[in-house]
Amino acid sequence: MKDDSVVSVAPLHITDIIRKKRDGGVLDDREIGFLVSGATTGSIPPEQLASWLMASWLRGLSLDETRALTIAMRDSGEKFTPRRLGKVAVDKHSTGGVGDKTSFLVAPLAAACGLAVPMISGRALGHTGGTLDKLESIPGYRTALTLSEFEDVLVHCGASIVSQTATLVPADGVLYALRDRTATVENASLICASILSKKLAAGLDALVLDVKTGSGSFLPQHKDSAYLAALLVATAEGAGTRTVALMTDMGQPLGRTAGNWIELAECVELLRGQRPAGSEDLRGLSLILAGWMIHLGGKAGTPEAGRQLAETALVDGSALGKFYMMIEAQGGDLSVFDDLAATHKPGATQVLAAWDTGYIAAMDTMAIGWAVQRTGAGREQPGAPVDPHAGIEFHARRGAHLVKGEPLATLYATTAAQLDEPIAILQRAIQISPAPPDAVPLVNQIFTRENAEAFLRNTVR
């Protein structure tokens, strides 16, 4: 007699799954779980994972597939489940840009307003800079904390910025490295699962996403980054985390520096209450993002009220105090901040003068990001060292009027020979024109759960 209590489940085969995706099929949760578990344990070899990634890149993933992939990746390893925080945990995550250093401002701002900010960050990737590389320009600063040390710093300081551990979302470590080598990074569903799996494993109550648009973002077309923003919000909210996404301009580097130490120094100037020319967009965006964090974290009734609380914490020095506490708690030598300019010791420096008279009309920010990388501030190969003092400082921003011969940017590198290529890139990437460009808003669209779900329902991909 047949035993009805035993449900027979057909075994899965990776080649069937690849074929199904290749032919435009939609994978179910079990098939996606099988792939993620195979990536994590190594039972599915890289060539088969890479085939599935390329099939997914070409065919796209449905909303259900994206959700299932995110959750399976989130659950692929250890999770950060803080028990001693006693505070609402809120984070901000950016999809990556050039000169994008708001983490050093929003983390201490939100901490100064009574929230906990557990920030698990990354290294320089492609043309974009890495928060960890920037922090490591502070001698002694440790980014590789254990989860218990991470919690200690959070309890003590309210904010901590660390690297991913080998045991937290291991599936993303495997899949991300493969995507980087197989040209499958730029896909909204794969980016969504990669970002959110790490954020959802970090025990957050709320999340603010800064989705970059424009020439320096991973998805430069507005329609693609809007889809990513909506997908991120709907997927994170579906997994129980209050989330908002702000689409922000990456049509020029954010603030006036792009590199490692020089970006930190720019943030410390702002935390000290200074208002240097060229840093207004960085200050403005950081206050808006922190305002949303403070609002979602329940400390302000509206994002604007949150922004005002953040501005108070910036002006009264309490955010600077939180920043120093965090750096010291993670082993950083605070004396580097005594004299910001004296700490900056590049091997070679060169000023690039405007080659024409006119307005800075457009910037190819992705190319500028590659120029920053070529100064030595970023890396060509995973694991290669970066020069903490390399990078580019811009003396004029989009819309500025320059007379031929006036300084446009100063480049810093380890050796003078390393400066030729970035200078040539900047000369191609920056357009000087007789007419001024149209103004571009810093924040061009905001997605919350309601409009994200409606956007996805009405978008045909």
What are the residues binding ligand URA (CB under 6 A)?
Answer: 95-96, 122, 185, 191, 194-195
Number of H helices, E strands in the chain: 18, 13
CB of 122 or CB of 291, closer to ligand URA: 122
- Please state the length of the chain: 461
- Candidates 91, 100, 133, 172; catalytic one: 172
CB of 53 or CB of 115, closer to ligand URA: 53
What's the rounded Cα separation, in Å, for the pair 269 and 337?
10
179 catalytic? Reply is yes
- Candidates 67, 74, 93, 374; catalytic one: 93
- Rounded to the nearest whole angstrom, what is the least distance from the CB of residue 202 to ligand URA in the complex? 12
CB of 96 or CB of 332, closer to ligand URA: 96
- Rounded to the nearest whole angstrom, what is the least distance from the CB of residue 53 to ligand URA in the complex? 11
- Candidates 21, 123, 134, 198; catalytic one: 198
CB of 66 or CB of 194, closer to ligand URA: 194
21 catalytic? Reply is no
- Candidates 101, 123, 127, 179; catalytic one: 179
What's the rounded Cα separation, in Å, for the pair 17 and 48?
10
Cα–Cα–Cα angle for 165, 181, 191, rounded to 5 degrees? 60
What's the rounded Cα separation, in Å, for the pair 459 and 461?
6
- Rounded to the nearest whole angstrom, what is the least distance from the CB of residue 204 to ligand URA in the complex? 15
- Rounded to the nearest whole angstrom, what is the least distance from the CB of residue 87 to ligand URA in the complex? 25
User: With contact defined as beta carbons under 8 Å apart, do 236 and 452 qualify?
Assistant: no
Q: Determine the longest span between alpha carbons in the chain, in angstroms.
A: 92
User: With contact defined as beta carbons under 8 Å apart, do 425 and 367 qualify?
Assistant: yes
User: With contact defined as beta carbons under 8 Å apart, do 87 and 159 qualify?
Assistant: no
- Rounded to the nearest whole angstrom, what is the least distance from the CB of residue 130 to ligand URA in the complex? 10
Count of other CB atoms within 10 angstroms of residue 259 = 34
Residue nearest to ligand URA (CB): 194
CB of 229 or CB of 432, closer to ligand URA: 229
Q: Which H helix or E strand runs over 315? A: helix 303-315
Question: Which of helix, strand or coil describes residue 104?
Answer: helix
93 catalytic? Reply is yes
What's the rounded Cα separation, in Å, for the pair 136 and 318?
23
397 catalytic? Reply is no
CB of 30 or CB of 79, closer to ligand URA: 79
Q: Give the single-character DSSP code of 107.
A: H
- Rounded to the nearest whole angstrom, what is the least distance from the CB of residue 125 to ligand URA in the complex? 7
Question: What is the set of active-site residues?
Answer: 93, 172, 179, 194, 198
